[in-house]
Amino acid sequence: MQPKRLAREAYTVAWVCALPLEMAAANAMLDDTHEPLAMNPNDSNVYAFGRIGPHNVVIAYLPSGHLGMVNAAVVANDIRRSFPSIHIWLMVGIGGGVPGKVDIRLGDVVVSHPTGGSSGVLQYDVGKAILDGRFERTRTLCKPPQSVLTAVANLRAKHEAQRNEVPAILADMEKRNPYMSEYLYKSMGEDRLFQAFYEHAAGDTCDDCDMSQVVERELRPEADTPRIHYGIIASGNQVMKHAQTRDRLAKDQGIICFEVEAADLMDNFPCLVVRGICDYADSHKTKQWQRYAAATAAAT
C-alpha cells in the first residue's frame, strides 16, 4: 500500500533520538510509515514519519557528530518550527544504569518519573562532579504534561500486575525486520557488572579485565527480562564513565540512570525521557548491548 503523505499540522508527537541506532529502533515501532515531507533548508534534522496507534509521529535524530545537550535543544527547536501541532515530546534511546537498591540489568528500561521537586531529569555539572563527587543542580527542568504523566502511571500500574509487552513487541519487530537481529535479546550471562573501584583494563571489550572483580548477582529469569523502572535520570554534557562518582551522585539524589542529551531539551520542552540500559555508567563500556537497549526503550 502506498504510504500516506500528511500535512505538517497532522503530527502531534515528536520522538527525538541522538544516534542512528536509536532511530532505527524507533522506525521499527511504527505501525505505518508516511511519505517524507520537503523540509526547510535551515532544518538540518533527519526525519522519519509514521503512525503509532492513533498518533502521527515525527521521529528526528541529531545530525552526525552533534551528540550532547545543546544540540538536542537545537533539534527540538527545528522540530517545533517545522511541526506546529506537536504537544507530546519523547526522548528515547540508550543510557547507563546505576546498580544498587534497584536491580537494574543491561537491557532494562528507565522512564523518567518526577519525584519531589524534580521533573524526573536532573542536570549535573560533570566537571565538578568528577573532581569532588558533589552534585550541582543548575536549574529546574520542565515536567512532562499531565496527560503524559497519567499515561505513564497507567502503564506502570499495568506492569505491576502483568508482564510488560516488550518481548512480544521485539518478536514482532524481528518478523517485520529480519535484518535487525542485533536488536534482539542478549544472554544474561553476557551481562557483567564490575566492582566500582575496578577500572577497565584496555580495548573495546572486557576480555582482558580481571573476572574476579565481577559482582556476583543472581541470574534473572529470561521471563522477567527486561524490567521497566521509573525514577530520576541524570543528564550531563559528558558520558558518565566513573563508577565511584556514579555511586556518590546516585546516593545523593536517588539517580538510577545517566545520559547526555535530555536536560537542555527539557529546559524548554516538557519531555518524557526513556532510556534502555546499555552499560553501567562506568569505564567498562562496550557497544555490545546498545542496539538491544535501544530496542527495549523504543518498545516500551
Task: Report mean pLDDT in 10-residue bins for the chain, 300 residues.
Answer: 89 94 97 93 91 97 61 83 94 96 95 86 66 58 87 90 92 94 84 89 82 89 91 89 92 92 80 96 92 97
Provide the pLDDT for residue 67.
55
Closest C-alpha among 298, 235, 288, 281 to residue 67:
235
- The C-alpha cell at 298 is 523504543
Backbone Cα Rg of the chain? 19
CA angle 229-231-236, nearest 5°?
115
Q: 201, exposed or middle or buried, with CB in 10 Å at 0-12, 13-18, 19+?
A: middle
Provide the pLDDT for residue 131.
52
Domain boundaries, the chain: 8-299
For the chain, what is the largest distance between any 2 Cα atoms, rounded to a whole number of angstroms? 59
Superfamily of domain 8-299: Nucleoside phosphorylase domain (3.40.50.1580)
End-to-end CA distance of the chain: 27
Provide the pLDDT for residue 188.
74
22/259 Cα distance (integer angstroms): 14
Cβ neighbours for 128, distance < 8 A, ≥ 6 positions apart: 134, 136
pTM higher than 0.85 for the full model? yes
Closest C-alpha among 300, 258, 1 to residue 151:
300
